[in-house]
Structure formats: structure tokens, C-alpha cells
Amino acid sequence: MIYWEKELEVLSRKELEKIQVERLRKTLSQAAHSPYYGELFRKLHITPEKIDRVEQIRELPFTTKQDLRDHYPYGFLTLPKRDIIRLHSSSGTTGNPTVIFHNRHDISSWANLMARSLFCAGVRDTDVFQNIVGYGLFTGGLGFQYGIERLGALSIPAGAGNSQRQIKLMRDYGTTVIHAIPSYLGRLYEVFQAEGLDPQRDTELRLLVIGAEPHTEEQRRRIEEMFGVKAFNSFGLSEMNGPGVAFECEYQSGLHIWEDAYMVEIVDPQTLHPVADGEYGELVMTTLDREGMPLVRYRTRDITRILPGDCPCGRTHRRIDRITGRSDDMFIIKGCNVYPMQIEGVLLKIPEVGADYLITLDTLNGSDEMIVEVEVKRDWFNGDVARLDKLTRQITNQIRDEVLTKPIVRLVEPGSIPKSEGKAVRVRDLRAALKAGNYSA
């Protein structure tokens, strides 16, 4: 078995926890230099020197996205601005954005984690790597870019969108690896078909890397069938740097979370008490190797679990399961709790369903309704009303059985649902907008 950093990737649990305790003390000492943590630690009498076991992480306070927004822009910064060389930020469409600052050490550490992650999935320095995500404040572009360069592969910083150009780049330069968000790959495949091309026949692709948005196993398998290669899941969030937090290895049996750089907890999102390995809960993370803006017990809102047991690859860093959704993504319709991923799981098991869907929550005739628009494959959307009606009833019944409330299903033509360059928009809730009086059709 080949590793990027064998001395770190196959550590015993005892050796790994020793590193974590040492780095947690250093992280707390560094965090105390920020206005936010400095005041909080003094108030709670938190002293790094008292930390000698990993379990003591539970004695520390949680940090939330709202904390970051409330102390925007510099409340979590631990170094003078002259030592900071980059920031990344969320869109900030609902209030202040969440901003993360990095110094030179942080960027180098992040690049190394990305290289380790890509190597773990099978990327090598002989590959041609096409990065089909946005560059700029979004972490996916530059995060992967630095990792590709650290690993030594030839990189094509293609950016998001312009599918015909993406295909030309792939064919001209012999792209062997692509990184893209799952929802975009469905669109890219449609363009391949429209151009009379087959990615399995007309490219040199040998593997895909997907991430940045929650997706089901059904969507991953569908992508693999379209492109004829394995698609490896990646996980990251900007508050923890971005991509490179956890990655699948060749066995695709969970994502190794790099525990020399992060302490990971899974807690019940209601009680905030830890749950046992194998049980689903909210992922909570602490940075262990970041200087510009360390974060302690950050509530990611992502729902996952620790997978028990060892991975055949030999890496000892624990594995998390794929993200099944977010604790703040759940919506309530007619008294039923619904996660968008439940609906995706139903749709992608139906062969006639195309590449995209959109859930709209709206008030119709005084009643809240869930409207599910579903793209249908091109050869099915041919004017056969009886056949489309039958498919509509099938989808309606299967979603109702899964989420216990009946949706309004509308079949639409391929490519008709608007696509975004970032993460796919899966849910529009117009109910709140109507109540606020600020929605216009």
C-alpha cells in the first residue's frame, strides 16, 4: 500500500491521540489571541495547560456560524493583518458572510492535506487534472489547485460552467481526472450526448472527484455509469479550510478524516451530547493545525456518523459516512420533517428521471404545498401524455411513501431547471417570502 505520508497516515490510535492533545493545547493558546476566544476563555477559565486527554474537548464551548457572523470581520483573527495572506468567505446572502483567514503556514498545511487526499483517492503526478469548480472566494477552486500542484499533477484550472469548452479541454489535453460538483456532472454528460460524444469512448478519463454538495449514493452510482469511471467522494467546508478535510480511498468505504489536522465529534443536534460510533448525528470539528484563525468545536450542521471498524487500506484515521444532509436543511411540510436527500434518493432510483430536480415550498389556496419539479430524460419527454402521467403518479407515490406527505410532481424537459455555478439549489421556500410580503412572481 502506498501512502502520501505513511508516518502520519498509519499511526496507532494512542500515537494519534498524543499528537491531538499536543496540537489542541497549541490551538487553544493560539485561539486565545483572538478577541472572541480571548474574552470567552477568560470568562470560562479555560487554560490549555490542563488539557491532557482528548476527551476533555467536551469541556470546551461550541462555536457556531452565528458566532462568526456576530464577530465579523476580525473577531476571530489571532494574528496581525500583515501576517495574513488570504481570506475565503461565504456568499453572505443572509447577513454577514462567514470569513476564514489564513497565514502562510495555513495555506501550506491545507495544500498538503489536499495532496494527501488526492493521493488517497488514486491521483498521481502523471495525471492531467481538470478542476471544474469556481475560483475566488469559493474554496473549491484554489483548495484543489494548491493540492494538485503540491502533488505534482498537470492542472487545468478550468473553472465552472461552459460545458462545450470543458469537453474541448478534456479532449485536447487528455484529461484523466476531473473534479466537479455532482449536479454539474449530470449537465456535462447531457452536453456530451448533444455533441454526439461519449466520455467513456472519447476521453482519457480514469477517475472523478466529487463533492461540495450533499448527494446520495444513487447519484454517485449514476455518475459512475455515465462516465464509466469511479467517482470518489470528498468532504470539506470553508470553516475547516475547505476541501481536504476528509476523502475516500480506493475502497470507497467511507471518508478518512485527517485526525492530525482536525478533532472530530458526532453529537446529537438537540441535546449536544456525544453519540456512539455508528450512530448519526451532527459533525463537530476543531482545527489542530491552523494559526490565522483556529476554530474550537465548530458545529458544522452536517449530519453523518463515524464508521466503526478498520479500513482495508490500512489508514488508521477514522472514517465518516457520506453527509446525509444538514440539521438546518430539514424543512417541515404539513407536519412532516423532510430532508431534501430523502427525495433525491427516491428520484435517482427511477431510470426515467434526468439530471436535476427542484423542490419548491409554496402556499397554494391557503395550504402549504411541496412542489417537486423533475427533469425527465430526453427520450422520455416526447409528448406521450399517458406515459408521462403514469410516471408522474409513480414519482408522487414513491415520494409520499418516503416522506409521509403527498407532493405535487411536475415533469419538465431536460435542462429546463436553472443551473448555478456553485452548489445546486435544491429547495426554494416561498412560504416565508410570502408571509414577509417580499415575494413577487
Domain ranges of the chain: 1-327, 331-436
Grid look-up 472530530 returns 264
Q: What is the pLDDT of residue 437?
A: 36
Q: What is the pLDDT of residue 218?
A: 87
Please list, in sequence order, all residues whose beta carbon lies within 8 angstroms of the beta carbon of residue 123, skipping any fewer than 6 positions away: 129, 148, 151, 153, 177, 207, 209
Beta-sheet strands, E only, within 84-139: 86-89, 99-102, 128-131
Fold of 1-327: Rossmann fold (3.40.50)
Q: What is the pLDDT of residue 378?
A: 80
Q: What is the pLDDT of residue 12?
A: 97
The answer to whether residues 72 and 96 touch, using CB atoms and an 8 Å cutoff, is yes
Domain 331-436 in CATH 3.30.300.30? The answer is yes
Q: What is the pLDDT of residue 435?
A: 43
- What are 101's three cell numbers? 483567514
The answer to whether residues 234 and 209 touch, using CB atoms and an 8 Å cutoff, is yes
Full-model pTM: 0.82
CA 440/CA 107 separation, integer angstroms: 44
Q: How far apart are the first and last CA of the chain?
A: 58
Q: What is the pLDDT of residue 438?
A: 33
Taking 50 as the pLDDT cut, the residues of the chain under it are: 433-441
Q: What is the pLDDT of residue 207?
A: 97
Q: What is the pLDDT of residue 92?
A: 53
